[in-house]
Amino acid sequence: MHSFKSKLESWKAKVEGRPPMPPPVPPHPNQSSSNASQAPPPVPPHPNQPNRPSAPVKGSILTPISRDEPLGQFARRKHPLTPPVDGDYAVPTNKFYTNMLLDNRTLPAWTHPYSVWWSQAQDYWGLAISQTTAEQRVFGPDPAQVPTQYYLNPAGIVSTLLGAREFAGNKVSVQPKQADHLSVTLDFAALNGSGTMSVPLTMGMGFVSAIYNNITPVIQSQVGIASANKLPCNAGLDKYELNLFNGVRWLVYTTGGANFRLENPNNFVCDGPFRGLVQVGSCPAACDQYFDSAAGAYASSASLEAGQTEDGSTGTYKIVYNIEGRSSSGKILAYALPHHVNAFSDACRSTMTPAKLDSTVMGPMVGCITQELEMCESLPRDVGFLPWARFHAQDDGQFGSGPYDDNLRQLMRSVAAEELQQDIKGQSCLDSMYFSGKGLDKFAFILLVTKLILNDDQLTKQGLEKLKDAFNVFATNHQQNPLVYDTTWKGLVSIAGVDGDPNADFGNSFFNDHHFHYGYFIHCAAVIALIDESYGGKWLEQNRAFVDNLVRDVANPSHDDPYFPVFRSFDWFSGHSWAKGLFLSGDGKDEESSSEDYHFAYGMKLWGKVCGDPAMEARGNLMIAIMNRSMNLYMLFADDNPIVPKQIHGNRVSGILFENKVDHATYFGLNPEYIQGIHMIPITPISSFIRSPEFVQQEWNSIVASIIDKVDDGWKGILKLNQALYDPKASLSFFASPSFKPQWLDPGMSRTWAIAYAGGISR
């Protein structure tokens, strides 16, 4: 039996010299040898960026968790919705193109910097394309109010459209194929059988590229084309400029020697059936040379590579574009978001061009002439189970007993003893996976205190048995609404909405919020496994497959595991997860809780640690590091945030972040404590890694301080424990006060953990 001290020493050894990682993945195949070797135009250096050489990667961290079928206790069921794809495989449910899989499939997909959709509007048949600018944003409901509640980008502006004569009268079918987490391809087929138009969609693509096969290309614009001119270009390509009536200039590149002409202000047409490539892109001023160097090549798909350094301190990830066609540079034009640019390796920074286009809600994007986007991040490897803060950084092995005096330890012991007398099973065995998970995790945090801080084995063992008993209800799938394995989309869903209301349990049955729901179970399981092992138990061995199934549902890292889509929730391009599953949305995917997003990754990181799975632990660390960068640009608005429009900066948090809109609201109400608090919950050791002391104090001073005395329910406890991230003594005073009221605790929160956390990071 291992003592907790030896366990901590083992963890510290892993941090300082990790065990061998899996073998490196094979290098990405080189592009076609037909690509010319001509170098792209020189790019200017990016100012004020530190040197960031590519970190040596020890090995891929994208190894499969398992290749086994989901556990047999999950009944197999077909989903009420069927994906209109090209085969029976694990189709992603929470990705940028989900609108194109649902209902009449005409709502947009956001590839950034473009949005695209299947247009069935009268006389506009094909793939519509829009690119909006910051100046077009609409603020409301009262644009004169500062801060405003929301802003959105205008939808449905057909800047350009890729279609064909043969599609007229909507005589066209669309088949999504090769649906993956970073890309999908749309095959448009003329119903008369004459030919097809295939359009690969990849995140960040600089051109919208269509491969025509024996149909007549038509490029349209509802904005209107003021003039069209043919321009000189590289051998093998024809180049045209389309100057729209709104002053925006689009470039068109074609192969195959086709002849295009301006038929009328809305139609730019080819003179006959065509086999070859047509590309369109919005071109910023003085950027033709960069566009020219990339024209003729396109990304047929995109894939992910990820690894970490030998010492585990740095993670590297790449979005690799699988290039087809031929360009003079041998590369494509890809746009990077601000959080990419800030983390670029030196090699990737050298690919940047002056071309910039606005994204909808994530700031200006920078065009790169490249085959891949490579980013490097510092990993939170030392953040473990015990209290941690940026200003009190220490790993579990250094924590010891914490800075607790005897009085505080006695208070924690008495509060823990009282809270562990509560009905754990009654608070956790509910009809909702979300609330059940929160209930279980509440008691897991209490046991961390009793075992690792108070060293009270008697109290810990009493609580541990009750918590294991409650967790077993779910591990054996005997909860009120059991999970089933959906054989259609491939995933674990609550039975609650499969045959009933799709919105049951927050839409879990339609793949909403799985990272929120299952993250609580995974963190709880990591705690149980850790403590049970210290007593010589076999709980980990007995429950690992169940918990791994939950992790695989949300964050399967490998196509070698065919039973779940790769990274259902986490978007490696946008830098965070999307909560919305199989629901249509005119503003795209969304997420209203940044904190429950990184709580999933934190739980997965710890589960990987206790399981001895360094690749899983590293994935959790890397996802958290990426979220730290992206969320502090797009969701959390500190004084120095360079991305958020000034009209909403004072809201301090995004509220609900959509792909096309930012709305300072929640789905359950507009109270300020809801909107701010849902981005705090739960407060754990990883919270301080994301939420800096400076940001938390700024949010407190500008919003929370004015409402805290009016809040008299569980949101008060959330707001006050969040205060510990910049003022732990004030937070501790609140939770340790004899006048503390239990009604101030959220159902997933304990006073024991609040005292331990605030006290553990007090300076």
**Quick check: 29 pLDDT over 70?**
no
Q: Do 603 and 597 meet the contact criterion of CB atoms below 8 Å apart?
A: no
541 CB-near residues (< 8 Å, 6+ apart): none
Mean pLDDT of the chain: 93
- What residue ranges in 326-387 does DSSP mark as E strands? 332-336, 352-358, 364-370, 372-378
What is the mean pLDDT of the segment spanning 176-199? 98
- Count of CA atoms in the C-beta half-sphere (13 A) of 384: 23
What is the distance between the alpha carbons of residues 746 and 677, in angstroms, rounded to a whole number?
11
**Quick check: 7 pLDDT over 60?**
no
Measuring CA to CA, how many Å separate 257 from each of 79, 164, 275, 458, 742?
47, 17, 10, 82, 76
DSSP assignment letter at 645: -
Look up 541 and say whether it is catalytic. no
pLDDT in tens, 572-601: 999 999 999 999 999 999 999 999 999 999
Give domain limits for the chain: 86-300, 415-760
**Quick check: 14 pLDDT over 70?**
no
Dihedral angle computed from the Cα positions of residues 518, 519, 525 and 528, in that order, rounded to the nearest 10 degrees: -140
Q: Do 137 and 148 meet the contact criterion of CB atoms below 8 Å apart?
A: no
What is the mean pLDDT of the segment spanning 250-262? 94
As given in the structure block, the two tokens for residue 629 are 């960068």
Look up 592 and say whether it is catalytic. yes
Q: What CATH number belongs to 415-760?
A: 1.50.10
pTM beyond 0.75: yes
Alpha-carbon Rg for the chain in angstroms = 27
Q: What is the pLDDT of residue 58?
A: 66
The CA-CA-CA angle for residues 436, 440, 441, to 5°, reads 115
What is the mean pLDDT of the segment spanning 41-50? 34
Q: Where are the alpha helices (DSSP H) in 377-498?
A: 396-399, 406-419, 424-428, 433-448, 457-475
pLDDT in tens, 271-312: 999 999 999 999 999 999 999 999 999 999 999 999 999 999
Q: What is the pLDDT of residue 39?
A: 37
Percent of the chain with pLDDT over 70: 91
- Could you write out the DSSP letters of every residue in 517-538? HHHHHHHHHHHHHHHHHHTT--
- Count of CA atoms in the C-beta half-sphere (13 A) of 576: 32
Rounded to 10 deg, the angle between the 514-534 and 457-475 helix axes is 140
Please list, residue by residue across 193-218, b when 16 or more beta carbons sit within 10 angstroms of its beta carbon and e when fewer do: ebbbbbbbbbbbbbbbbbbbbebbbb
**Quick check: 24 pLDDT over 90?**
no
> How many other C-beta atoms are found inside a 10 Å radius of the C-beta of residue 752?
29
Residue 71 exposed, middle or buried by CB count within 10 Å (0-12, 13-18, 19+):
middle
Q: What is the pLDDT of residue 392?
A: 78
Lowest mean pLDDT among 1-15, 110-124, 195-209, 255-269: 1-15
Phi and psi angles of residue 670, each rounded to the nearest 5 degrees, phi first: -110, 10
332 CB-near residues (< 8 Å, 6+ apart): 205, 206, 207, 294, 297, 298, 299, 321, 323, 369, 370, 371
Amino acid identity of residue 406, one-letter, is: D
Phi and psi angles of residue 139, each rounded to the nearest 5 degrees, phi first: -105, 145
Q: Which CATH architecture has domain 86-300?
A: Distorted Sandwich (2.70)
As given in the structure block, the two tokens for residue 420 are 């562990």
> Of the listed 166, 456, 596, 617, which one is catalytic?
596
> How many other C-beta atoms are found inside a 10 Å radius of the C-beta of residue 570?
24
Q: What is the pLDDT of residue 399?
A: 67
What is the distance between the alpha carbons of residues 382 and 97, in angstroms, rounded to a whole number?
37
Q: Do 241 and 233 meet the contact criterion of CB atoms below 8 Å apart?
A: no
Phi and psi angles of residue 735, each rounded to the nearest 5 degrees, phi first: -75, -25
Q: Do 239 and 292 meet the contact criterion of CB atoms below 8 Å apart?
A: yes
Q: What is the pLDDT of residue 302?
A: 99
**Quick check: 70 pLDDT over 50?**
yes
Q: What is the pLDDT of residue 400?
A: 58
> Of the listed 292, 513, 533, 613, which one is catalytic?
513
What is the distance between the alpha carbons of residues 13 and 384, in angstroms, rounded to a whole number?
14
What is the distance between the alpha carbons of residues 285 and 82, in angstroms, rounded to a whole number?
44
> Of the listed 382, 592, 617, 663, which one is catalytic?
592
Q: What order do you get walking across the sheet with 491-494 strand by strand?
A: 75-77, 483-486, 491-494
Residue 41 exposed, middle or buried by CB count within 10 Å (0-12, 13-18, 19+):
middle
pLDDT in tens, 303-350: 999 999 999 999 999 999 999 999 999 999 999 999 999 999 999 999
pLDDT in tens, 727-757: 999 999 999 999 999 999 999 999 999 999 9
Q: Do 320 and 305 meet the contact criterion of CB atoms below 8 Å apart?
A: yes
What is the distance between the alpha carbons of residues 497 and 502, in angstroms, rounded to a whole number?
5
Q: Do 470 and 429 meet the contact criterion of CB atoms below 8 Å apart?
A: yes
Identical fold between 86-300 and 415-760:
no
Residue 341 exposed, middle or buried by CB count within 10 Å (0-12, 13-18, 19+):
buried
160 CB-near residues (< 8 Å, 6+ apart): 128, 129, 208, 219, 220, 221, 242, 250, 280
DSSP assignment letter at 697: H
